[in-house]
Every structure is written in C-alpha cells, then in structure tokens.
Amino acid sequence: MASQPGPPSSPASKAATIKDVAAAAGVSIATVSRALNSGERVLPETVARVREVARELGYTPSRTARGLVTGRSANFGVILPDVTNPFFAPLLAAVESAAQTHDLGVLIGDSREDPAAELRIAQRMTSQADGLVLVSSRLPDSEILALAARVPVVLANRRLDGLDSAVIDVAPGFTGAVEHLAALGHTRVLYLAGPAGSWSGQAKERALHDAARTHAVQLTTWGPHRPTFDGGRQVADEVLASGHGAVICYDDLMALGLQSRCAERGVDVPGELSVVGCDDALPEGMARPALTTIEGRSDELGRLAAQLLLARMSDPEAEPRTETVPSRLVPRASTGPATRPRP
C-alpha cells in the first residue's frame, strides 16, 4: 500500500542483519562490526556512514548471534520464590536497575517456593544468562554448588561457603525487638516462623533464641507458616487463644494478617497484643496501628547481589565475598506495655 520506503513501516520484512548494513554502506561486515562496536581501526568517516546506514535500516545487532560467538549472553538471571511478595519486588528492581546501567537483560523466574521448579528454571537459565542471582534459594547446598560450577552464582538472602552472598544481618534487628518487648514488660514472646527450609528463617530463629536467653524472655516458636497476609490471619485465632502478649512475625505480611484478624475480633493492638513484623517492606502507615518492625532493606540486598555478580563475572577466580545489610528495630505503634496475662 504505502509507497514509503522507510523500514519503520515495513510490515513483516525480516530484520536487517549486519550483511544488509554492509551492503548498503558498501563495506564488509567486518567493518560494520568494528564501526558499530568499538569504532577503532576504522576511518571516522566510515564509522559515521556505517552508523548512519544502520540507523536508517533500523538495524539492531542480534544478541543471540553475538552471544554465540562471544560466549556471553549479556543477561542476568534472577530466581526468586514469589514475585508478588513485596519483600522481593524491590530486590528485583534493584538488580534490574543495575542490569540496565550495564546494558544487560534480566531473565526472571518464579520458583513458587518449589525447589524442583527452582532447579528447572536455573538449568534453563544457565545457557542464557551470564550469571544467576538466587534469591532465598530453597535448593540444597549441593545443588547450588553444582550450579555454581556451570555459571557464576550469587546468593541473596542466604549464605553458603565458597559462594558470593548478600545477606541481611538479622541479629541487631531481632535482638532489638526482644529488648524492646522485654523493656515493655513482656516475658513470654511468641515467634511465628515462615517457610520451612528458609535460610533467613533459621538466622532469625537463631538471633531470637540468643536474644531471648540474654534477656530472660521465654520464647515459643510456631511454624512453619506461609509468609503471607493470609498466613498471618490463619494463625491469629490460635495466637490469641494462647494468651501470649507479644508476637514477632517472620515477615510484615504475616504481621498485618495477624493485626487484621485482631481488629476484626476487637482485640486491641498493642493494648492486648504487641505485634512485631519483619522487613519493613510496606510503606509506613499502611497498617493501623503503624507496625513495629525489623527493617532489612531488600533493595540493598539486590544492589549488592548485582554488584557481586558483576564482580564475579569479570573475575571468576576472585575470593568469594559476603556482603551484609544491617537490620534494626523500627519501633512504631503496634507494640506496647505488657498487661496482666489472661488465664
């Protein structure tokens, strides 16, 4: 129909290749390659002409072909347990952001907390990513190590000897939470654990136990639970029935679910129950009352993971590093003085 020759309007024509550009510019493909990539060892005016022609033709180098010869795909791979969890979103955004500034793509995989799916995705990615960020991996150490032998791997929210990892140091936050509750007069504290097999969950429990001992707080742990709003709602009744006056949750979502059910039942927070979350993943003030929580920035985790991966890719022989993100208690309105325990 249209008599316009412009390539933008061409409907189904094959994408231009380096050959087309070479032909149109009257040079060899080697020159096109050089002109477009480095621009070195080519006459400036040739470079200009080639680039001009390439632009006119709407030429975009095939990353696939380039990857085949260079051996690099120019992609990050990120695998995480649940894209819809607000803790992971900023992490992903941070990795993606780093990728963008380095002109890298990001392959994403959602394992849905399933180790088998995680492994499947990871294996698919090995041939299409230059490096993998495994977030809160549920894989056994051995599998992760095997994977790391095939492609650079960085762990986020998990530590493993011999691999780069970015983790949150949960100790200060959880210690602070216990101290905070103890100072408010709570002597019995309930911890609602998250998913089974979570490395960070174990770290949290460890920190909690240590802190409980030194502060003479009696700690009870329940779990595992799904780290979701519903997960929190579902245990709420049991929590209330248990007579505990203070609860620390694996993450903010569970804490909010718990709060939500409390409000429904007319249980006053923090009057009758003090609630502590973890992550500070939601905007302050989204919960009523504002949630006392343990901050651990997941965007930092993502930033560091990307940085580690970049470093690993450029120097595969370097000593594995562990980067740590601090945590801290952020006291808000969901915690208050202990009252006389109910019978």
Q: Is 64 in the site for a second copy (CB under 8 A)?
A: yes
Q: Choose between 17 and 123: whose C-beta lies nearer to DNA.
A: 17
Q: Is 302 in the site for a second copy (CB under 8 A)?
A: no
The two tokens of residue 280 are: 């500070």
Q: Choose between 41 and 340: whose C-beta lies nearer to DNA.
A: 41
Q: Is 243 in the site for a second copy (CB under 8 A)?
A: no
Q: How many residues does the chain have?
A: 343
Q: Is 9 in the site for a second copy (CB under 8 A)?
A: yes
Q: Which of 15, 43, 183, 196 binds a second copy (CB under 8 A)?
A: 15
Binding residues for DNA, per CB under 7 A? 14, 17-19, 26-31, 33-34, 36-37, 41-43, 46, 59, 61-62, 65-66, 68-71
Q: Choose between 14 and 340: whose C-beta lies nearer to DNA.
A: 14
Q: Which does 286 bind (CB under 5 to 8 A by kind): a second copy, DNA, none?
A: a second copy
Shortest Å distance, C-beta 67 to DNA: 8
Q: Which does 37 bind (CB under 5 to 8 A by kind): DNA, a second copy, none?
A: DNA
Shortest Å distance, C-beta 293 to a second copy: 15
Binding mask 263-282 for a second copy (x = CB under 8 A): xx------------------
Shortest Å distance, C-beta 334 to a second copy: 12
The CA-to-CA distance between both ends of the chain, in Å, stands at 84
Neighbouring C-beta atoms of residue 322, cutoff 10 Å: 15
Shortest Å distance, C-beta 38 to DNA: 8
Neighbouring C-beta atoms of residue 160, cutoff 10 Å: 19
Of the candidates 116, 323, 82, which has an alpha carbon nearest to the alpha carbon of residue 226? 82
Q: Which does 43 bind (CB under 5 to 8 A by kind): DNA, a second copy, none?
A: DNA
Q: Which of 49, 57, 105, 210 binds a second copy (CB under 8 A)?
A: 105
Q: Is 150 in the site for a second copy (CB under 8 A)?
A: yes
Neighbouring C-beta atoms of residue 246, cutoff 10 Å: 26
Q: Rounded to 5 degrees, what are φ and ψ at 314?
A: -85, -20
Q: Is 33 in the site for a second copy (CB under 8 A)?
A: no
Q: Which does 23 bind (CB under 5 to 8 A by kind): DNA, a second copy, none?
A: none
Inter-residue contact 242 to 185 (CB < 8 Å): no
Q: Is 288 in the site for a second copy (CB under 8 A)?
A: yes
Q: Choose between 69 and 241: whose C-beta lies nearer to a second copy.
A: 69
Q: What is the 3-state secondary structure (H, E, C) of the chain?
A: CCCCCCHHHCCCCCCCCHHHHHHHHCCCHHHHHHHHCCCCCCCHHHHHHHHHHHHHHCCCCCHHHHHHHHCCCCEEEEEECCCCCCCHHHHHHHHHHHHHHCCCEEEEEECCCCHHHHHHHHHHHHCCCCEEEEECCCCCHHHHHHHHCCCCEEEECCCCCCCEEEEEECHHHHHHHHHHHHHCCCCEEEEECCCCCCHHHHHHHHHHHHHHHHCCCEEEEECCCCCCHHHHHHHHHHHHHHCCCEEEECCHHHHHHHHHHHHHHCCCCCCCCEEEEEECCCCCCCCCCCCEEEECCHHHHHHHHHHHHHHHHHCCCCCCCEEEEECEEECCCCCCCCCCCCC
Stretch in the footprint of a second copy (CB under 8 A) among 23-31, 46-54, 79-87, 167-175: 79-87
Q: Is 318 in the site for a second copy (CB under 8 A)?
A: no
Q: Which of 1, 5, 40, 103 binds a second copy (CB under 8 A)?
A: 103
Using CB under 8 A, list all residues that contact a second copy: 8-12, 15, 58, 60-65, 67-68, 73, 75, 82-84, 86, 89-90, 92-93, 96-97, 100, 103, 105-110, 117, 121, 123-128, 146, 149-150, 228-230, 233, 253, 256-257, 260-261, 263-264, 283, 285-288, 316
